[in-house]
Structure 1
């Protein structure tokens, strides 16, 4: 596979990951109680992050002359991750919601790590991915800290 095609696949995979992240946080937001407005605000900000990431990734895919993924992942770990988030909501526990969100953040972080390590990813795209990865790491750390401070 040539480097351009590999880079496009990587970018489109990350677009799908961000689509999954958006849907996961939208579901999480709907399951929170009214008094958890700070957490709803945090999740809304994370949805905004993923929209921004998608726009940046899609710009690069378009610049490479290919179609941009618009759906969500339907196979593999990412899909199961956000399904686990939905399943956790049946417990309606703030801690369980945060646990599943953290797990989703872990999967997103791993996907970015893999994309950055991929030798076929051009340097200028790696630079963009490193910036997005840093934001994802900060979001993950916020979720983890909140989870660690919540009693079941």
Structure 2
């Protein structure tokens, strides 16, 4: 696989992983409405906005390199497969949704691992 294809695969995976992160925080924010104080709600909103900005930057880079939109819904890159494994490790399997602190702790750690792996993978090729 040539360098451009590897880069596009990595970008596409990061777009998907980041999208999942945004959706997770939106779900936590929606679930905690009424229970959470204003400060927590503002913090979650800032995280969502940050994720949306990052998403836009990743998509712009992808389009600049490929002159086409990224594949949505089911990319099959190695980063996304690794993300799914890490995420399933943190999944509570039938014990209900993750708490807000669990999203911050384990979810963000998993996201950082995905980005570090993407950076390493893009340098190797």
TM class by shorter chain equals: 0.7 to 0.9
Summarize the alignment of residues 1-152 of structure 1 with structure 2, pairs less than 5 Å apart: 1-34=1-34, 35-65=36-66, 66-71=68-73, 76-77=84-85, 80=88, 84=92, 87-89=96-98, 96-118=99-121, 119-120=123-124
CA distance in structure 2 between the aligned counterparts of 1:16 and 1:78, rounded to whole angstroms: 15
Total equivalences in the alignment: 114
TM-score by length of structure 1 reads 0.63
Determine if contact 2:12/2:71 at 8 Å carries over to the other structure: yes
- Which 5+ residue runs of structure 1 have no aligned equivalent? 90-95, 122-152
Cα distance change on mapping 1:17 and 1:54 into 2, 3 Å: same
**Distance in 1 between the 2:73 and 2:110 partners?**
18
TM-score by length of 2: 0.75
Q: CA RMSD in A?
A: 2.7
Which portions of structure 1, spanning 4 or more consecutive aligned residues, are displaced by more than 4 angstroms?
72-75, 81-84
More contact order relative to length (CA 8 Å, sep ≥ 6): 2
Unaligned runs of 5+ in 2: none
